[in-house]
Amino acid sequence: MNSFFGFLENLHGWVLVKSCVEIFIIFVLLYTILRIMHGTRGTGILRGLAFTLVIISIVTLFFIKKLELYAVDWIVTEFLPVFIIPIVILFQPEFRRALVRLGHRPFLRMFFRSEVQVAEEVVKAVSTLSKSKVGGLIAIERGDGLDNYIESGIRINSDVSSDLISTIFWPGTPLHDGAVIIQEQKIAAAGCLFPLTENISIAKTYGTRHRAGIGITEETDAISIIISEETGRVSISVGGQLKDDITQEELKRALEELTTETVMSTRGS
């Protein structure tokens, strides 16, 4: 009898080791896919999906099995797989938004860098454009790559300079209607096109520039700064949320806080 119980204990230990190996293999596969897709709009979605899968695996393999929650186990293993595809199809935009936001959470970031100098140059340019009532849209890349959107504009690859940014948006220049993208402390491109937000709660008084500024932050974790052509008011958008009519001091503080802690792997890749 003692040998029988010893066999069960060894078997349980083997199942635990096997589960850990499976989770590690899944993690390596997802990490590899994320590295390959770095710089695309799908990075945030995959990061959120990877985190969700890991949590589900841990809950299923360790808590549900360990506590012998058979009803919950049946729901997870038998019920959900049947309805998950129709649910995802019906609520695809909501799921995508949720996964993107989950993938952008600060607790998923481990390495950081400072970009205070870039923030100062951007604030200086925004102040100049605001006083002159010149419209502009600037996106600052953080964890998620903006390479897809850079391809829609004209590559510049220049140091971040307030004078250059002001010149790009000055009326009559060929690139003043598009957006400027700042990547790796460089002005990567200008004249870029962003997706417009589909959020129906956004006031109709906001034009295309504001909707594009919000749209890019819904799809990625970028920071967007919008300068109104009509009023000269400055707005900042992060995570699909817009803060309107902010002062120069508020903008500088927000940029320093948001850009000081950014994923170091973005620079290394």
CATH number at residue 129: 3.40.1700.10
Please identify, among 85, 108, 131, the residue that sits at the C-terminal boundary of a domain. 108
**Looking at the structure, do residues 230 and 166 belong to the same domain, yes or no?**
yes
Please identify, among 108, 124, 152, the residue that sits at the C-terminal boundary of a domain. 108
Structure-token pair, residue 202: 């956004």
**Looking at the structure, do residues 189 and 256 belong to the same domain, yes or no?**
yes
pLDDT at residue 212, rounded to an integer: 95
**Looking at the structure, do residues 120 and 251 belong to the same domain, yes or no?**
yes
Alpha-carbon gap, residue 131 to 212, rounded angstroms: 22
pLDDT at residue 145, rounded to an integer: 85
pLDDT at residue 257, rounded to an integer: 81
Alpha-carbon gap, residue 8 to 70, rounded angstroms: 20
**Looking at the structure, do residues 138 and 241 belong to the same domain, yes or no?**
yes
H, E, C per residue of 12-55? HHHHHHHHHHHHHHHHHHHHHHHHHCCCCCCHHHHHHHHHHHHH
Alpha-carbon gap, residue 180 to 188, rounded angstroms: 8
pLDDT at residue 17, rounded to an integer: 66
Q: pLDDT per position in the chain (269 positions), as tens? A: 545 445 444 545 555 667 677 777 877 776 676 565 555 555 555 566 666 666 666 666 666 666 666 676 666 666 666 666 665 565 556 556 665 555 555 444 443 333 457 888 999 999 999 999 999 999 999 888 898 999 999 999 899 999 999 999 999 888 888 999 999 889 999 999 999 998 888 888 899 999 999 999 999 989 999 999 999 999 999 999 999 999 999 998 888 888 765 433 333 44
**Looking at the structure, do residues 83 and 172 belong to the same domain, yes or no?**
no
Q: How many residues does the chain have?
A: 269
pLDDT at residue 143, rounded to an integer: 81
Cβ-Cβ contacts under 8 Å for 29 (sequence gap 6 or more)? none
**Looking at the structure, do residues 196 and 218 belong to the same domain, yes or no?**
yes
pLDDT at residue 95, rounded to an integer: 59
Alpha-carbon gap, residue 240 to 98, rounded angstroms: 11
Do 183 and 176 form a contact (C-beta atoms < 8 A)? no
pLDDT at residue 141, rounded to an integer: 92
Alpha-carbon gap, residue 205 to 202, rounded angstroms: 8
DSSP 162: H
Please identify, among 63, 80, 108, the residue that sits at the C-terminal boundary of a domain. 108
- Paired sense of beta strands 234-238 and 223-227, if any: antiparallel
Structural domains in the chain (count): 2
DSSP 207: -
State phi, psi for 154 to the nearest 5 degrees.
-110, 120
Beta strands in the chain (DSSP E): 136-140, 154-159, 179-183, 186-192, 223-227, 234-238, 241-243
Domain containing 197 equals 116-268
pLDDT at residue 25, rounded to an integer: 80
